[in-house]
Amino acid sequence: MSARAILAVALAGFRERRRRPAYAVVLLAAVGLGYLALPAAGSHWTIVSLGGYRGVYNSAYTGAVAALAGSLWLTVGGFYVVRTALAQDRMSGVRELLAVTRLRSAGYLLGTFLGNLLVLGSMAGVLAVTALVLQLARGESSAVDPSALLLPFVLFTLPVLAVTAALAVFWETVPLLRGGFGNVVWFALAVVGMIAAQSPTAPLGGLGTPALAASLREVMAAQGLPVTEAAIGLMYLDDPPVTFVWGGFPVTAGMVGERALLVACAVVIALVPALWFGRSNAVRSTGDFRRPASAADEITDAQPVAYPRGGVRAGVRFPRLVGGSLRVLLAGVSRWWWAVAAVLFVAALVLPVGAALLLAAWGWPVLVWSRLGMEGRDHGVDALLSACPAPVTRVLAEWVAGVVFTAIVGAGPLLRMVAGADLAGVAAWLAGAVFIPALALALGLVSGAPRLFQAVYLALWWCVVNGLAGLDYLGALAGGPSPLVVSTGAGLLLAAVFTTAAARRMLR
Tell me the average confidence (pLDDT) per consecutive run of 10 residues in the chain, 508 residues long: 82 82 76 82 81 89 89 83 82 75 84 92 90 90 91 92 93 85 86 82 83 88 84 78 88 90 94 80 41 44 48 63 85 86 87 77 87 70 62 85 92 87 89 92 81 85 82 82 91 88 70
SS3 state of residue 48: strand
Q: Of 390, 369, 505, whose CA–CA distance to 443 is shortest? A: 369
**Hey, how many other C-beta atoms are within 10 angstroms of the C-beta on 181?**
14
Q: Where are the alpha helices (DSSP H) in 144-208?
A: 146-152, 158-173, 180-196
Q: Are 392 and 454 in contact (CB under 8 A)?
A: no
Q: What CA–CA distance (Å, rounded) separates 412 from 402?
A: 17
Q: What CA–CA distance (Å, rounded) separates 457 from 87?
A: 23
Residue type present at position 289: F
**Strand 231-236 vs strand 242-244: parallel, antiparallel, or unpaired?**
unpaired
Q: Which distant-in-sequence residues (6+ apart) come within 8 Å of 232 by Cβ? A: 47, 48, 68, 198, 209, 213
pLDDT value for 270: 92
pLDDT value for 394: 82
Q: What is the DSSP string of 213-252?
A: HHHHHHHHHHTTPPP---EEEEEE-SSPPEEE----PPP-
Q: What CA–CA distance (Å, rounded) separates 501 from 508?
A: 11
pLDDT value for 151: 93
The sign of the torsion formed by the CA atoms of 332, 338, 339, 340 equals: positive
Q: How many residues does the chain have?
A: 508
Q: What CA–CA distance (Å, rounded) separates 322 from 481?
A: 30
**Strand 53-55 vs strand 45-49: parallel, antiparallel, or unpaired?**
unpaired
Burial 422-436 (b: 16+ CB within 10 A, else e): beebbbbbbbbbbbb
Q: Are 416 and 348 in contact (CB under 8 A)?
A: yes
The sign of the torsion formed by the CA atoms of 55, 57, 59, 64 equals: positive
pLDDT value for 287: 38
* Cα dihedral value 340, 460, 209, 260, nearest 10: 70
CA 241 to chain centre: 31
Helix and strand numbers (H, E) in the chain are 24, 4
CA 419 to chain centre: 37
Q: What CA–CA distance (Å, rounded) separates 363 from 2?
A: 46
Q: What CA–CA distance (Å, rounded) separates 337 from 175?
A: 19
- DSSP symbol at 44: S
The sign of the torsion formed by the CA atoms of 174, 177, 183, 189 equals: negative
Q: Which distant-in-sequence residues (6+ apart) come within 8 Å of 386 by Cβ? A: 307, 308, 311
Q: Of 429, 392, 396, 397, whose CA–CA distance to 414 is shortest? A: 429
